Amino acid sequence: MDHPVLSARTIVVWGVGLAVVAVGSVVVLLVLLGRGEPRDAVRLDVVRTAASVVIGTGGAAALLLTARRQRYVELDLRQKDHDATERRVTELYGRAADQLGNDKAPVRLAGLYALERLGQGNAAHRQTIVNLVCAYLRMPFTPPPAARARVGVRDADRAQELEVRQTAVGVLTAHSRPDDVDAFWPDLDLDLSNATLVKFTFTHASVRSASFVGATFVDAATFRGTTFHRNADFRDARFAGLADFRRVTSGESAFRGAVFAGEVDFGVRTTVRLSGARVRPSSGRRRWPDGWTERQDESDLRFLVYDDES
């Protein structure tokens, strides 16, 4: 940014110089044109021309000073507006984060929705907000019983926490789907390592990368139609129910150490690498993408997944 004070000082110096030139021109006019000679008329025209140049230059200097002052004022107002916006975003983010840590489920839900609104209106902060939501989902969690005739206080609390977590997953999914242009947040990175995810639905999404290392998927886990542009890491993940990876596309993928204990469906057009994945014998129907098959290991407890060329 140009320094306005320094620029104004320079222009003042120019003005003083122009004034000196003007005074000098008057003195020359008085000395040279007071003799009544024919050449005095020519000299007078020269002085008039010089005076016009001096006056014009002075006007230009004044306009330049005004323009520079206006530019400084505009830049200063822009910077102040940016700083005020950042302070407000920081304040709202802190308030929402505090709500997310509240011991009451409705307050935590309000915190999630506040973060979502904040991200929708401030693209530069979306990844930070996603990081916070993912960190919340990575916190230890024991799902409530699937069927309960009587719900105790502890189970009720866990049921409410499950609702908060499913809302958090819904926020991530809603803003990862490119078919909704207004809601889509591009180039997101997800870190759900070691998270416990119940009925996880992340379909038709598009993210830059995702880590599910050591994650536990309770009930069905559905990734149908999702694209991981860089990598999808499912090492040591546990799939207790249906694992639906139909039409999934990934730049790089890793399933080494992952265990499928329920039905498996990768379809035939899925681009993933399944080397090192394991399947429990009682998992039910299994469909692997073209080029992959199973072989029973020596312990006869699990099946290993191989590509056809290994």
Q: Give, in order, the Cα–Cα distances in Å from 47 to each of 24, 25, 31, 37, 259.
A: 10, 7, 12, 16, 97
Ordered by start, the domain boundaries in the chain are: 4-84, 142-307
Could you read off the pLDDT tens digit of each residue along the chain, which spans 310 residues? 445 544 556 655 655 566 566 556 655 555 655 555 666 665 556 566 666 666 666 677 677 778 777 777 777 667 655 556 677 778 888 898 999 999 999 999 999 999 999 999 999 999 999 999 999 999 999 998 864 444 455 678 899 999 999 999 999 999 999 999 999 999 999 999 999 999 999 999 999 999 999 999 999 999 999 999 999 999 999 999 999 999 999 999 999 999 999 999 999 888 888 888 988 877 678 899 888 888 777 665 456 666 655 4
Going across the sheet that includes 249-254, the strands are 189-191, 206-211, 227-233, 249-254
How many Å is the maximal CA-CA distance in the chain? 126
Q: CA 186 to CA 184: how far, in whole Å?
A: 6
Instruction: Please count the helices (runs of H) and the strands (runs of E) in the chain.
Output: 5, 14
DSSP per position, 117-142: HHHHH-GGGHHHHHHHHHHHHHS---
